Amino acid sequence: MGQHEQRLRARMDAIKGEIAALGEMRPGVLTKQYNVCGQANCRCKDKKNPRRHGPYHRLSYAWKTSEYVKADAVAGVQSQLADYKRFMGLKDEWVGISIALAKLRRRAAKREV
């Protein structure tokens, strides 16, 4: 096994460890929204100083769905989003390493023939 292959395999093992250390995950994006209500005399419709209601935190998933997130749950959801993003990056890197290893094995097989 060559040095390059050893480095690739070592990185793959490190990725497996990093993935195993991840916590709960969520895909999507967390946004803040401010809304206007339907009450005619509300502060959100003040002509001089309109103040919308909110912030309301909304989690939108890649699966075309979303949900509101209560303010006290925002930090937890942000952590889940970060873990999901990290997982996706590690997954992509793992796939890239797997492809590189397959190419190395193909080259090695050609040299043996």
**Encoding tokens for residue 102?**
């397959």
Alpha helices in 1-113 (DSSP H): 3-21, 74-112
pLDDT digits (tens, 9 = 90+) for 51-93: 999 999 998 876 677 889 999 999 999 999 999 999 999 999 9
Is 107 a residue whose pLDDT tops 90?
no
**Encoding tokens for residue 13?**
């093992």
- Distance (Å) of CA 24 to CA 71, 79, 102: 19, 8, 31
Mean pLDDT across the chain, nearest whole number? 90
Is 18 a residue whose pLDDT tops 90?
yes
**Per-residue confidence band for 102, with pLDDT thresholds at 50, 70 and 90:** confident
Instruction: Kindly list the strands in the beta sheet with 66-69, ordered across the sheet, starting from the edge strand earlier in the chain.
Output: 29-35, 53-60, 66-69
